[in-house]
Amino acid sequence: MDLKKKIYKNLLFKTRKLINKYYQETLFTIINICGDILLFFFLLIIFFKNTYQFHLFLKNIKFKFFELTDDNKAFLLILFSDTFVGFHSSYGWEILLENLLKHFGLPQDRSFIFSFVATLPVLLDTLFKYWIFKHLNAISPSIVSTYHKMNE
């Protein structure tokens, strides 16, 4: 009888520990989601109240980018493209996606992460090259030629 009570108490203790662990994880997930919703809501309010300043900021960024030399522009384009769609970017996407799933309390399924990492950088690379050849070529063909020379 004494052994059964010890086993029962041990089992009850471990069960309570698991319940508390999953309760805390659920609570943190709900707090994270509510915090993200509030952040998104406040960012939307700031954006809509300050659209003139936001457009001014974007024009300033665009002006600063086109003020650079062609070599610097090509360097920034290669840095951006290699960071998000380059050879080593898959590890960064895996870490980012794992942390995002963990943040929202979702299971970190490896097959989902690998399929996401296998498709998203290819899509981003295609869109980036389309932007370079369609829009950037019309604005400054010398940037595109410098980009090709630096990328080789």
- Structure token pair of residue 39: 């952040």
Instruction: Measure CA 19 to chain center.
Output: 32
> Residue 151's pLDDT is what?
64
pLDDT grade, residue 36 (50/70/90)? Answer: very high
Domains of the chain: which residue ranges? Answer: 1-49, 57-152
> pLDDT at position 107, please?
84
The terminus-to-terminus CA distance of the chain in angstroms comes to: 78
Q: Rounded to whole angstroms, what are the CA distances from 18 to 5, 25, 30, 77, 114?
A: 20, 11, 18, 49, 30
Confidence of residue 87 (pLDDT cuts 50, 70, 90): low
Q: What value, to the nearest 5°, has the Cα angle with vertex 130 and ends 68 and 118?
A: 110
Least confident of 7-11, 18-22, 25-29, 78-82: 78-82
